[in-house]
Structure 1
Amino acid sequence: MKMRFLFCTAVTLTVLMLTAADTSAAEAPQVKVGFAERDITPEIGMEQPGGYGKSFHRSFHDPCKTRAAVFDNGTNVVAVVSLDALFIRRVTVDEIRERVEAKCKIPANSILLHATHSHSSGPMGMILPGEYDHASKFVQELAYEKSSTADTAYLETVVDQSVEAICEAYNKRSASECGAGVGIEEQVAFNRRFFMRNGLTFTHPRPGNPDIVKPAGPVDPEVGVIGVWDEQGQLKGCIVNFVCHATTNPGGISANYIYYVEQVIRGVFGKDVTLVFLAGASGDVTQVDNLSKYQRRPSEESARFVGGRIGAEAVKVLLSMPRGNFKTIASKVKMLEIPRRKPTPGHVAEAVEVVKAGPAKSNATDWVFAKETVLLDARLQKEPVAKVEVQAIQIGPVVLLTDPAEFFCQLGLDIKAGSPFPITFPVSLANGCVGYVPTKEAFDKNGGGYETRLTSYSNLVTTAGPQMVEAAVELSKQLTPDEQPERPAAPAFNNNPWAYGSLAPQVD
C-alpha cells in the first residue's frame, strides 16, 4: 500500500509539473510591436555626402526618413532603427540612445541605429563640426573647406526626429503576430572588385575591360524579411535585409533605391506599412555590373529596377511566411578597441607636398588621397584606436548582427556561416562608422582598390574584419533561437471526400 501511495503521488506530481509547464508555455505573452517613421529630408543646397570632396543637392526626388520598429515581449524591449543616411557617427548614436532611454525607457544598448548608406541623402559627414579644431589651420582648411562635412542643424534634426520615431513606435506597440523568411534576388547586385591580369585587384574596372580575369569577391542574394501583422491580419510593418550599395541616385535628394522597395511593399499591403530597411555587408557590392555587355540603365530606371525587384521578392516572402508569436526578444553588445593603421612619416611628408602644390600639379585622385593622408595623420593625434561596437539583436528565430563599417560581403557570409540561427541578418554601418573594412586578402599582394587605401575615413588594421566577425558569431552563440512559426496542421481526413469532386465520369 505504501509503495502504491508513493507511486501515485509521484505520478500526480509529474502530471502537475507537466501541466504547469504547458500552462506556462501557453501563457507566454504575445509579443507587442510598434512602428513609426519621421521625415529627415535635407534642404536644397545642403551638402550631398558620398565622396571625399564637396557636392551639393540641387533637386528633390523623394523623402529621406528615419524608420523605427520596437519589439517588446514583456521582459525585454529592443528598437531597430533605419535612417536614410550615408552613415551615422558614434556621437550621434550616443545622443539618440541617451535621449530615448530617458524618454521612453528603452535601454541604450538595446537600440540598433543603422544607416542605409544612401548616397543621395543628407549631410551627416564625412567630417563632423569641430572634429579637427585641434589641428593646424592648414589641416582645418582641408577638413572643413575641401572635404564633405556634416551640417550642425541637420544633425540636430536627425537626432530629434529619430528620438520621436522610436518613442512613437514604443507607444504604439500592440499585440502582433510575426513571421520571418528568406527569398532570393540575383539580378540587381554585383561585386565591384576584380582580379586583373597585372596581378592586382581593381574596383570598377569598367565593362569591356579586356584585362578583367574574374570577380574578386562574392555577392549575397538573400532577401531576409521579418513581417509583423496586427490582430486584424493587416501588415503593420516589416524589416528587410539585403546586400547592395545605395548608389543608384535616382536624381536629387532621395532614400535611393530603398524608396522603391517601400513603394512596392506598400502597393501590395497598404500605404501605412512601415519599412525598416537594413543593408547587409555591401562594402564591395553595388548595382553596377562590370561584366555586362549592355549599357547601364539611367539612374532613375536603375533605382526602380533595384528597389522594385528587392521589394517584389520581399512581398513574395511576406505572402508565404507562417505567422506566430516571437517569444524571445534580446540584445547583447561587445565593444572592441581596434588600432588604426598609421601612414609612415615619409608618406605624410610627401602627401603634404602634393596637397600644397594643388590638384593642378598632380591628378585629382592623387591629390584627394594625399589630402586624406594629411587628415588621417591629424586624426591619429587624438584617436589612434577606434572603439567598435558589435551588437546582437534577437527577434524570435532571427538574429541581427551588426558592424559599424562598409563591411565586405565575404565577411557577412562568414557571420551567417558561424551563426546558430536559422535566419541571420548581418547589418552594416550600424551604431557608428569606421569606414571600409575589407577582407584580409584585399590587403595582400594581389589586393588593391580604393577601399584598401589609407584615409581619414578608412584606416583600421587589416585584421579588423575577422575580429568583428568573431565577435558577432560569439554573441549569436550566447542566444537561443525560437522555433520558427508553422502554418496550422490540416485536419485529419474524415473518410468523406468532397461530394462534387468524387463523381464518376458522365459521357451521355
Structure 2
Amino acid sequence: MRRSLSCLVVWLVVVGVANAMSPLKSGFAERDITPEIGMECPGGYGKAFHRVLHDPCKVRAAVFDDGEKRVAIVCVDALVIHRVLVHAARERIQTRCGIEAGAILIHATHSHSSGPTGMIYPGEYDHASPMVQDLAYRQSSTANLDYVQHVENQIVDCVVDADANREECTYSIGRGHEEQVAFNRRFFMANGITQTHPRPGNPDILGVAGPTDPEVGVIGVWDREGNLEGCIVNFVCHATTSPPGISANYIYFVEKVIRGTFGDDCVLVFLAGASGDVTQVDNMATQVARDPADSSRFVGGSVGAEAVKVLLREPRGDNANLAFQSKLLIIKRRPPSAERVARSHELVSQEPSAVGKTVWTFAKEIVLLDAKLKKEPEVEVEVQAIQIGPAVFLTDPAEFFCQFGLDIKARSHFPFTFPVSLANGCVGYVPTQEAFGKRGGGYETRLTSYSNLEITAGSQMVDAAIELASALSPGEIPKRSPAPPFRSSAWDYGSVSPELD
C-alpha cells in the first residue's frame, strides 16, 4: 500500500511538473465582416448610412493553450456587441472546439465607422406601443439582423480556426507610452458644471475634468522560427477618427504599421481600454484639427509605432499559465421622473424642427427608456478576468470612464493589467459618481435608452474586477538570460591609448 501511495505521489509530482512546464501554444485567425454599402452606420441616436468603403472591418481572434486550459480573445470591428450575440457565439464555439464559454472574451473595438450591430435590435420594443415602436425602429439606429448573424458566424469560425492553428510559441509582454493622440473630452466650465467637447478656444474652460491613460499594452506571440504570429494591443481612445467610409477606424492604421514591420501574416487583436471619456479630439488645441483621414492615420500610426517598439524590445518566454473567471452583476437602471416622461411624449409628438433636433432626440430617448424599464428594469453585467502569465485582462461591458481603468490598474497585483471595455455586451456609458455630482454633467451623463445604469455601476464593476484578479496568481515575466561572466580580455581594437600621430 505504501509503495502504491509512493508511486501515486511520484506520478502526481511528475504530472504537475510536466503541466507546469508545458510549452505555450497559440493560434490566430481573422475574418472579414465588412458591411455592404447602404447599410446603417451606427454611432448616433438617429439613422445614417454608409456610402463608400475606406478599409475592411474584421473579426480577429487569438487562442492560447497552456496544456491544461484554453482561452480565446476576440476583437470585432463593431460599435457594440450585444449580450445575445455573445451568448450565442460562445455556445457554438464551445460545441465546435471545446473552449469553455467563460474562457471566451468578445470585445467590440467601438468603431464608429463599422457595420450595423447596434444600437437597437429589431424586436427589442415589440412589447411597446406603435408610437414607441416607430421611434425605435424607424427613427433610431438599429441593428441589421442578417448582418448580426453574419458577424456571429464569423466570430465562431474565426475562433475555431485560431484554435485549429495552435502551435508551440514564445511570447513577449510589455508596455509603451503614447500621450499625443488621445485626450479627455470633458471640461470644468465657468458656469459650474462639466461640459463634453466645449470646443477649442472656448473662454469658459476652467480645466480638464478627467484623466487619460497613455499606456500601450502589448503581448506579442512568436512562432518557433521567430516570426510574429500575432499580437494583442490595448490602448485607451474612442474609435471616432472615422476616415470617410466603412472602416475599422484608427485600428486599421495600427495594423498597417505592425504589418509593415513584421509582415502581412501577423494578426492584430486590438482591445480598447477604459475610453468612455477619451477621444482623439484635443479641445485645448491652438491649431486647426486634422481631417478624419489624417487623424485616423496619426492616431493609429502612433499607437502602432509604439507597439512595434515594445515588440522589438521585450524578451520572450515559452510558457505561461492561463486562467479565467467571471462574475455576473445585476444592476438597476435609472428611471426618469413621471413628469419628464410626460413632457418627452409631448415633445416627440411634434416635428424635430419645431422643438429643435437635440431636444427632440433626447426626448425620444426618454420615451424609449421608459418603455425599456417596463420590460427590463435591471441589466445583467458580466465582469471577466482572462489571465495570460503575468498579464490579466479585466473586462466591463461599458463605455467605461478612463478613471475606472486607472483605478483597476492601481489596485491590481498583476504586473500587467489591461482593462477591456465594451466586452461581452454593452450597457452604454458608465461615468464616475463625480460626473453625477455638483460639478458634473456632460453628454455621457445624459439619461437615454443606451446609457441608464445607477450611478454606482462603475464602482461595482471595478470592485468585481479586482475581486477576480485577486483570486489569480501572476506568472513570471519573460526575462533574457543573464550575461556570461567576464572571462577574457577587452576588445583588442578598443584597448589603446590616444593616438595623436
TM-score by length of 1: 0.95
Counterpart contact for 2:185–2:279, Cα < 8 Å: yes
Question: Which residue in 2 is equivalent to 1:203?
Answer: 196
| Partner residue of 2:354 out of 353, 361, 367 | 361
* 1:170 match: 163
1:410 matched to 2:403? The reply is yes
**Corresponding residue of 1:487:** 480
Counterparts of 2:302 and 2:427, CA distance in 1: 30
Letter in structure 1 aligned against 2:216 = V
1:22-59 CA distance string (max 9 Å, x none): 99279610010000000000000000000000000000
Amino acid at match of 1:375: L
Partner residue in 2 for 1:470 = 463
Within 5 Å, which residues of 2 pair with 1:218-233?
218-233=211-226
AA of the residue aligned to 1:489: P
Q: Which runs of 5+ in 2 are unaligned?
A: 1-5
Instruction: Report SS of the residue matched to 1:496.
Output: coil
Report the alpha carbon displacement of residue 504 of structure 1 after superposing the two structures with TM: 4.7
1:272-308: CA deviation from partner (whole Å, max 9, x where unpaired) = 1000000000000000000001111011000000000
* Superposed counterparts of 1:85-124, under 5 Å: 85-124=78-117
Q: Which residue of 374, 379, 386 maps to 1:386? A: 379
Name the counterpart of 2:229: 236
Could you tell me which residue of structure 2 aligns to residue 215 of structure 1? 208
Q: Deviations over 1:444-477 (max 9, x none)?
A: 1211112111110000000000000000011000
Correspondence 1:263 to 2:263: no
Structure 2 letter corresponding to 1:282: S
Q: Equivalent residue for 1:454? A: 447
**Percent of pairs identical after alignment?**
64
- Secondary structure, in 3 states, of the residue corresponding to 2:375? coil
Q: Answer whether contact 2:26 2:65 (CA < 8 A) is retained.
A: yes
| Structure 2 SS opposite 1:38 | strand
**Among candidates 307, 326, 338, match of residue 345 of structure 1:** 338
2:122 to 113, 129, 134: 129
Q: 1:423 aligns with which of 413, 416, 420?
A: 416
Structure 1 stretches of 5 or more lacking a match? 1-12
Q: Which amino acid aligns with 2:260?
A: G
For 1:192, which of 178, 182, 185 is the aligned residue?
Answer: 185
Matched, 1:279 2:279: no
Alignment of 1:295-306 (within 5 A): 295-306=288-299
Superposition deviation, residue 358 in structure 1: 2.0
Match of 1:68 in 2: 61
Preserved contact between residue 339 and residue 386 of structure 1 (Cα < 8 Å): yes
Q: Which residue of 1 aligns with 2:303?
A: 310
Could you tell me how far apart the structure 1 residues matched to 2:16 and 2:367 are? 65
1:144-188 alpha-carbon deviations (Å, 9 max, x no partner): 000000001100110111101000000001101011100000100
SS, match of residue 349 in structure 2 = helix
| Equivalent position amino acid for 1:150 in 2 | A
Summarize the Cα distance change of 1:144–1:70 in structure 2 as closer, same or farther, 3 Å threshold: same
Q: Does 1:30 align with 2:3?
A: no
Where does 1:436-447 land on structure 2 (aligned, <5 Å)? 436-447=429-440
Match of 2:131 among 130, 133, 138: 138
Determine if the alignment matches structure 1 residue 48 to structure 2 residue 44: no
Q: Which residue of 1 aligns with 2:312?
A: 319
Q: Is contact 2:125-2:372 (8 Å) kept?
A: yes
1:81 matched to 2:78? The reply is no
Q: Quick one: which amino acid aligns to residue 30 of structure 1?
A: P
Q: Distance in 2 between matches of 1:240 and 1:405?
A: 19
Q: How large is the Cα RMSD of the aligned pairs?
A: 1.6
Once the 2 structures are TM-superposed, how far is the Cα of residue 500 of structure 1 from its aligned partner? 2.8
**Aligned with residue 498 of structure 1, among 488, 491, 496:** 491
CA distance in 2 between counterparts of 1:360 and 1:87 reads 30
Deviation for aligned residue 1:361:
2.1
3-state SS of paired residue (2:221): strand
- Residue identity in the other structure for 2:490: P
**Secondary structure of 1:480's match?**
coil
CA distance in 1, matches of 2:177, 2:488: 40
- Tell me how far apart the structure 2 counterparts of residues 505 and 383 of structure 1 sit (CA, whole Å): 83
Question: C-alpha separation between the residues in 1 aligned to 2:102 and 2:199?
Answer: 43
Deviation at 1:382, TM superposition (A): 1.0
- Residue 5 of structure 1: aligned partner: none
| Alignment partners' CA distance in 1, 2:437 and 2:257 | 42
Q: Distance in 2 between matches of 1:366 and 1:453?
A: 12
Q: TM-score, normalised by structure 2?
A: 0.96
1:334 aligns with 2:339: no
Measured after TM superposition, the shift of residue 492 of structure 1 is: 1.0
Residue equivalent to 1:150: 143
Aligned mates of 1:22, 1:83 — CA distance in 2:
38
- One-letter code of the match for 1:402? T
Q: Aligned AA for 2:335?
A: K
CA-to-aligned-CA distance 1:410-466 (integer Å, 9 cap, x gap): 011011111100011000000000000000000012111121111100000000000
| Structure 1 runs, 4 residues or longer, greater than 2 Å off | 20-27, 495-508
2:3 is matched with none
- Counterpart residue number, 1:377: 370
Conserved 8 A contact 1:197-1:211: yes
Distance 2:336 2:500 in 1: 90
Any conservation in 2 of the 1:326–1:397 contact (CA below 8 Å)?
no
What is the CA–CA distance in structure 2 between the aligned matches of 1:300 and 1:430, rounded to whole Å? 27
Matched residue, 1:9: none
Contact 1:278/1:427 (<8 A) preserved: yes
Q: d(CA) in 2 for partners of 1:72 and 1:226? A: 15
Helix, strand or coil at the partner of 1:210: coil
Secondary structure in 2 matching 1:381: helix
Which amino acid letter does the alignment assign opposite residue 258 of structure 1? Answer: I
Q: Is contact 2:366–2:448 with CA below 8 Å preserved after alignment?
A: yes
- Relative to structure 1, is the Cα distance of residues 501 and 23 closer, same or farther in structure 2, using a 3 angstrom cutoff? farther
Residues 500 and 119 (structure 1), Cα distance of their counterparts in 2 relative to 1, 3 Å cut:
same
For residues 134 and 323 of structure 1, what CA distance do their matches in structure 2 show?
55
Q: Letter of the aligned partner of 2:450 in structure 1? A: Y
Tell me the SS of whatever aligns to 1:357.
Answer: coil
Deviations 1:78-137 (A, max 9, x none): 000000000100000011101000001100010000000000000011100111111110
C-alpha spacing 1:198/1:23, structure 2 compared with 1 (3 Å):
closer
Q: Is the 8 A contact 2:348 2:363 kept in 1?
A: yes
Q: Is the 8 A contact 2:22 2:319 kept in 1?
A: no
